[in-house]
């Protein structure tokens, strides 16, 4: 509820670097996916996905340390400033929570080691940039700081105040305020170092589009809703026959003028009833065969015949059918411009971070695995 005010090195870093999203690219093997804010009429499946451009992290995933580290164990020092395992794990957990919505659990676990390394590199970069920003002529005025705090307060969850959140997390307001000032100072440094980077040109955009044509393919898809009368383990032939009659009656009511969404909300056994039966947009291979065949073959806007699957009896209404194709350059050029320009800025900032690292004393401490593996002697 109050994570928007947590004061940690990890949170501070991600807030400070939000403008470029550069630190998540500290692992040079994985460029960010290009994301589009889809228009309301655009199905989610049409989001440009450049993940195919990244090497497969699952072929040889980095493995986490086989021996668990203690929270206070120091993993890295940057000019004497310590980064502990616990601080890194806070960042790892943040990443895992965000990625869990789009990455299968089994693959997510394989990525753990890579995420741990990325967060570690991120924290090192944050310390280096913070020190560089503090030594620069840049400054964050009290007016700027107050404006930023007001923005944070306006984005707080409903019913939650900044002061309450700070108190709940046992964070001193003055300390938090100065930490926020540092984050803003780093953001200014980032902006300064990348201000002269030219935007991607039309030629660069066109070239990237042509070289990555497969990334802009969109599969055949439909947008559909359904009403389900579900089977249960206790169903007999007689109860299934009754459910068949019931759904045929529902179909007749809809054909007679009943509203599909309203009836779905009242009669359907599927959680989608809360959305009037809407299943959103899906491509082939995402539904059981019987359902897919009906959804992809039905006439737009019509109520098809009753469909039986392993889940029960369905009434399906297909409202949109998109054929497979390739998104035109005109549709994605603005998105690609942002992506390619951002990539240039990332490369510039990463090079600057490497310069800072070369001038600093960065020590990665490896645990003594042999000593840790020895059985504990109880006296």
> Could you give the dihedral angle defined by the CA atoms of residues 80, 75, 131 and 189, in that order, rounded to the nearest 10 degrees?
170
Which of 358, 367, 315, 299 lies closest to 72, judged by CA?
367
**How many whole angstroms separate alpha carbon 298 and alpha carbon 296?**
6
Q: Which CATH superfamily is domain 3-214+329-368 in?
A: Porin chaperone SurA, peptide-binding domain (1.10.4030.10)
Phi-psi region of 309 (alpha: psi -120 to 50; beta: other; left: phi over 0): beta
Instruction: Write down the mean pLDDT value for the chain.
Output: 82
Q: What is the model's pLDDT at position 284?
A: 93
- Mean pLDDT over 213-235 rounds to 95
Are 138 and 185 in contact by the 8 Å Cβ rule? The answer is yes
Domain 220-323 in this protein, CATH class: alpha beta
Q: What is the model's pLDDT at position 67?
A: 52
Asked whether the domain spanning 220-323 has the same topology as the one spanning 3-214+329-368, the reply is no
Q: What is the model's pLDDT at position 68?
A: 64
* Alpha helices per DSSP H over the chain: 9-16, 85-99, 105-110, 112-135, 142-154, 162-168, 173-194, 202-211, 237-255, 260-267, 289-297, 329-358, 369-373
Count of CB atoms situated within 10 Å of the CB of 211: 10
Which of 224, 236, 189 lies closest to 356, judged by CA?
189
Is the model more confident about 25 or about 184? Answer: 184
DSSP character at residue 237: H
Which structure tokens are listed for 313?
Answer: 């009896």
Domain boundaries along the sequence of the chain? 3-214+329-368, 220-323
Is the model more confident about 79 or about 68? Answer: 79
- Mean pLDDT over 166-179 rounds to 90
Rg (CA), the chain: 27
Percent of the chain with pLDDT over 70: 78
**How many whole angstroms separate alpha carbon 159 and alpha carbon 104?**
34
pLDDT single digits (tens) 323-372? 999 999 999 999 999 999 999 999 999 999 999 999 999 999 865 545 44
Provide DSSP, 134-187.
HHSS----HHHHHHHHHHHHHTSPTT--HHHHHHHTT--HHHHHHHHHHHHHHH
Distance of CA 219 to the CA centre of its chain: 22
**How many whole angstroms separate alpha carbon 53 and alpha carbon 49?**
9
Q: What is the model's pLDDT at position 367?
A: 56
- Mean pLDDT over 15-31 rounds to 34
- Mean pLDDT over 124-134 rounds to 95
The pLDDT confidence band at residue 130, using thresholds 50, 70 and 90, is very high
**How many whole angstroms separate alpha carbon 130 and alpha carbon 184?**
10
Q: What is the model's pLDDT at position 260?
A: 97
**How many whole angstroms separate alpha carbon 367 and alpha carbon 70?**
11
Residue with tokens 């959103």, as numbered in its chain: 280
Q: What is the model's pLDDT at position 139?
A: 96
79 to each of 87, 190, 359, 361, how far by Cα in Å?
17, 21, 10, 5
């Amino acid at each position: 509820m109050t994570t928007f005010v947590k004061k940690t090195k990890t949170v501070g870093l991600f807030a400070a670097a939000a403008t470029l999203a550069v630190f998540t690219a500290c692992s040079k093997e994985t460029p960010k996916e290009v994301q589009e804010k889809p228009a309301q009429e655009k199905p989610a499946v049409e989001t440009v996905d450049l993940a195919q451009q990244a090497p497969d992290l699952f072929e040889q995933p980095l493995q986490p340390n086989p021996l668990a580290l203690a929270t206070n164990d120091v993993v890295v020092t940057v000019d004497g400033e310590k980064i502990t395992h616990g601080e890194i794990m806070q960042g790892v957990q943040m990443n895992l929570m965000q990625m869990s919505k789009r990455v299968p659990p089994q693959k997510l676990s394989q990525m753990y080691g890579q995420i741990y390394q990325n967060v570690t590199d991120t924290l090192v970069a944050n310390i280096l940039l913070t020190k560089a920003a503090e030594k620069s002529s840049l400054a964050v005025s009290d007016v700027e700081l107050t404006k930023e705090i007001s923005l944070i307060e306006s984005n707080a969850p409903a019913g939650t105040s900044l002061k309450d959140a700070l108190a709940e997390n046992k964070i001193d307001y003055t300390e938090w305020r100065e930490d926020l000032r540092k984050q803003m100072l780093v953001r200014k440094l980032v902006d300064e170092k990348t201000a002269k980077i030219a935007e991607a040109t039309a030629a660069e955009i066109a070239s990237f589009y042509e070289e990555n044509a497969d990334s802009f393919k969109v599969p055949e898809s439909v947008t559909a809703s359904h009403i389900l009368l579900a089977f249960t383990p206790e169903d007999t032939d007689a109860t299934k026959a009754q459910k068949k009659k019931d759904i045929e009656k529902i179909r007749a009511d809809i054909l007679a003028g009943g509203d599909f969404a309203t009836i779905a909300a009242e009669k359907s056994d599927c959680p989608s009833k809360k959305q009037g039966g809407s299943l959103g947009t899906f491509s082939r291979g995402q539904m059981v065969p019987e359902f897919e065949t009906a959804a992809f073959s039905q006439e737009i806007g019509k109520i098809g015949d009753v469909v039986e699957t392993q889940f029960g009896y369905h009434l399906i209404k297909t409202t949109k059918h998109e054929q497979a194709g390739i998104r035109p350059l005109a549709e994605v050029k603005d998105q690609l411009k942002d992506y390619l320009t951002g990539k240039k800025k990332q490369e510039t900032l990463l090079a600057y971070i490497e310069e800072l690292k070369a001038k600093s004393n960065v020590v990665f401490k490896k645990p003594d695995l042999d000593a840790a593996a020895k059985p504990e002697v109880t006296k």
